[in-house]
Amino acid sequence: TPIRLHDYRPPAWSVETVELDIDLGIDATEVSSRLTLHCDPQQPATLRLDGEGLELLSISLDGRKLDTHEYRYEQSVLEVSGARDGSVLETHVRVRPAANTTLEGLYLSGSREHGFLLTQCEAEGFRRITFFPDRPDVLARYTVTLRADRSRFPVLLAGGNPAGSGELADGRHWARFVDPHPRPCYLFALVAGRLESIQRDYVTADGRKVKLVIWSEANVIDCCHYALDALERSMRWDEHTYGRSFDLDVFHVVATHDFNMGAMENKGLNIFNAKYLLADPDISTDDEYRAVEAVVAHEYFHNWTGNRVTCRDWFQLSLKEGLTVFREQQFSADMNSAALKRIEDVALLRRTQFPEDAGPLAHPVRPAEYREINNFYTATVYEKGSELVRMVAGRLGQEGFRRGMDLYFERHDGQAATIEDFLAALGDANHINLSSYLAWYSQAGTPRLHAKGEYDEVEHTYTLTLSQQTRPTPGHVEKAPLPIPVKLSLFDRHGQMLPLHLDGEAHGTEKVVVLSKPTQRFVFQHVPSAPVPSLLRGFSAPVVLECDYTPDELALLLTHDADGFNRWEAGQQLAMLAFDTLRDGDDSIANKAWRQALAALFEQDAIDDALLADLLTPPGEIEFADRQSEVDPAKIHAQRQAMQHRLAEEIGVDALVARYRALAAHTGAPELDAANQARRRLKRRVLELLALLDAEQAYALAIRQYDSASGMTDRLAALSVLVRHRAPQAATALVHFRKRYADNPLALDKWFTVQAQVPGEPALAIIKHLESDPSFTLKNPNRARSLLGAFASGNPSGFHRMDGAAYQFLAERLAQLDALNPQIAARLATAFNGWQRLEPVRRNAARQALEGLAQREGLSPNLSEIVGNVLQR
């Protein structure tokens, strides 16, 4: 049965202090816990604690060992009779890290001989370590003592301030950590093993001396410097932008190759998937460098938005995740190009969140119910959640938002809060009622914003009629109108912005109007000629804009808007129009307008290289599919290729080659500055376009680029062009890459991914062949994702074969994976989302595969929830 938001009750039992004594071993670890309990007098109840798969060795209450009839441990719940307010419960349990393949709770990363122990508790992993009320609204103060063999586990870490360490008999040692800040148990972490570190002293804005330490296995410690710099930048930025400083004497960050998610913000001891911490020119692309900076910042920012103020229950997950994604987006925009960051984030939202909102897995940013919380760490909670914060922040303005955040921290520091609390604090600090935005949190589905403009030549007025509509989502047919902030400008036919007059007031050239009803009209006065509206500037609300632009109007915006994001957005809309009108390979007016506008921009050489690269990239296959009711992924792929082919023709071989050579002449050492990153990005795009037009020349350039590359960005770009086109030179390059990076898991992941994304028919055979590579394993999440995830979610034309063979194949792998790691299996299964909108042949094949999977015995709650929801059972 699902858990429901409306059933929330405060905890009957909470915990004031926790003392953990952990005796670490690879096969068996023993955990002694001492909890001082508090009972809510309003809710007298038997003491119940969560505990999953724990081997209970002993239990005592208030110093007295309990008899077997005084407690019961069944179905993941420990019931203890006789506890009262102030009681002390002591338990002693054994857990088995090496046998734990779920990567939740305490587990082993790497081999038994050389690996290390670590934990992952969010959302409900702490119950796999000891008995506890495993819910985020139970905040306690932790003292953690670790004991272990010194030679096998020279490094012992837990979150909090160091509070002593020393020797024990038999070559063992101990270390203690005390965290003065009350926290929920999902923020508990420990790490133990042979690790190296780099460190730096840091002084916070409020004068605290903090040691920043990054830990990894010895062979990659040299790849941690970039992350350490990024951490320092994040800390300064949060002090400067939000007035928030770090609050412990030491901040540890640890890298592991075995991790279910990106990273985890455990208090004082962040743990990272190595993919988001290690950075080195030889193994990391430019995109990955930026991802490392972003994830380091995200996890650090959680210290205030997540840890100091945490969530009352898991329905409020977006309270910390949406807000922290937003803070990271602001930070990354400040550190890099704001326009490029916005483009990247909007593209991500459309590629991952819009399909979620449009299919059987649709759920509100604050879901009303769930079975398995791990299935709700979604693009909706994270990415759409961030867009909701962005709308509210936009409404309040920079200073108003800061005032609101200050009040939020002042009111809720040390508490477990709700989304209502958040909106109330932001609103109260600004004397504004923001409660209308709550509807955004509780309603699934992407609103469609329809816009229609009418110009009155006599009155010189321009009437903009905006209306909104949200389609039904599973189980929710009725949709309420939402407050939609629409940032807009008007352009004249020469591409000049017009001054805006609304309701008799002048507003400069850009203005936000808020549509809060189903339909509203906005009348602009003193408009000298029929304008072209630029709507939803900066993507001011997470909606789908429907506006009957002519191709010329979009081309005008694409050519003249000074703002990089808006220019890109006009280009994307024009490309959509071009795609829709490009039936069966025929050309269209829109397609002509799109490629001619781009070819002209290409020639001018006046645009930033990175922006130009983005402009030259049409929306992805998933975005095109999202607009269709009978999806044929092979056809979408072919049509998108045809568009790009025509674009390449329009630019011309000579111009492409000349630009490529000019860019290549300028890229030597893998410098990370914006200009060099931008050159590499455009160089890749130019090479991709050239490959559509003059394959031989492109392959020759690609192989030269591969051989002479001084960093991974150039090397992988070249390899990808060769592999995707199945160039004759691809095989040699792949063999070379495989050898060169044989000992580097992060680079090898890319080797799998680049091959998993060969479009169309050949992909499945390639995947099956790659599974027999000795380095392939389902046990490592990054590796499983790099092959199966890249195929099923990142290669629509390869995965959606007419014969359904890839559906059967994935279903089989999901069942195998589920037995090892249910979280990863459930995540990969979301590749089936959207199957109902496939054309009938594929739809039937997908249904069969899904039904077969659903009927298997012993599926995890994680996977069966996703499969059940996808099938709409």
Would you name the residues annotated as active-site residues? 299
Q: What share of the chain is helix, strand, coil (3-state, %, to 5)?
A: 45, 20, 30
- Shortest Cβ distance from residue 656 to Zn ion (Å)? 41
Per CB under 5 A, contacts with Zn ion among 323-342 are: 324
Nearer CB in complex with Zn ion: 321/561: 321
Distance of CA 442 to the CA centre of its chain: 21
The whole-angstrom separation of Cα 642 and Cα 615 is: 17
- Shortest Cβ distance from residue 782 to Zn ion (Å)? 18
Q: What would the x/- binding string for Zn ion be over residues 121 to 150, using CB under 5 A?
A: ------------------------------
Nearer CB in complex with Zn ion: 349/727: 349
Which residue type does 309 have? V
DSSP for residue 632 = -
Say which residues have a Cβ less than 8 Å from residue 210's Cβ, sequence separation at least 6: 201, 202, 203, 204, 246, 248, 249, 250, 251
Strand partners, 270: 253
- Shortest Cβ distance from residue 709 to Zn ion (Å)? 34
Q: What would the x/- binding string for Zn ion be over residues 286 to 325, using CB under 5 A?
A: -----------------------------------x--x-
> Which contiguous run of DSSP H or E holds residue 515?
strand 511-515
- Shortest Cβ distance from residue 324 to Zn ion (Å)? 5
Cα–Cα distances (Å) from 516 to 17, 437, 439, in that order, read: 48, 10, 11
- Shortest Cβ distance from residue 302 to Zn ion (Å)? 6
- Shortest Cβ distance from residue 159 to Zn ion (Å)? 16
Per CB under 5 A, contacts with Zn ion among 255-284 are: none
Cα–Cα distances (Å) from 679 to 365, 443, 654, 672, in that order, read: 38, 42, 19, 11
The whole-angstrom separation of Cα 251 and Cα 192 is: 16
> DSSP 3-state assignment of 524?
strand
Nearer CB in complex with Zn ion: 332/676: 332
Nearer CB in complex with Zn ion: 263/557: 263
Nearer CB in complex with Zn ion: 378/473: 378
Cα–Cα distances (Å) from 512 to 314, 489, 505, in that order, read: 33, 9, 13
Nearer CB in complex with Zn ion: 305/473: 305
- Shortest Cβ distance from residue 449 to Zn ion (Å)? 29
Nearer CB in complex with Zn ion: 377/660: 377
> DSSP 3-state assignment of 448?
strand
How many residues contact Zn ion, by CB under 5 A? Answer: 2
The whole-angstrom separation of Cα 725 and Cα 728 is: 9
The whole-angstrom separation of Cα 826 and Cα 413 is: 34
- Shortest Cβ distance from residue 328 to Zn ion (Å)? 9
Which residue from 302, 345, 348, 346 is spatially nearest to 324, judged by alpha carbons?
A: 302
> Do you know the residue count of the chain?
873
Residue for token pair 């119950």: 127
Which residue from 478, 681, 647, 667 is spatially nearest to 575, judged by alpha carbons?
A: 647
Per CB under 5 A, contacts with Zn ion among 783-842 are: none
- Where in 237-385 does DSSP place strands (E)? 250-256, 263-264, 269-273, 309-311, 369-370
The whole-angstrom separation of Cα 390 and Cα 859 is: 39
DSSP for residue 830 = G
Nearer CB in complex with Zn ion: 186/579: 186
Which residues of this chain interact with Zn ion, rule CB under 5 A? 321, 324
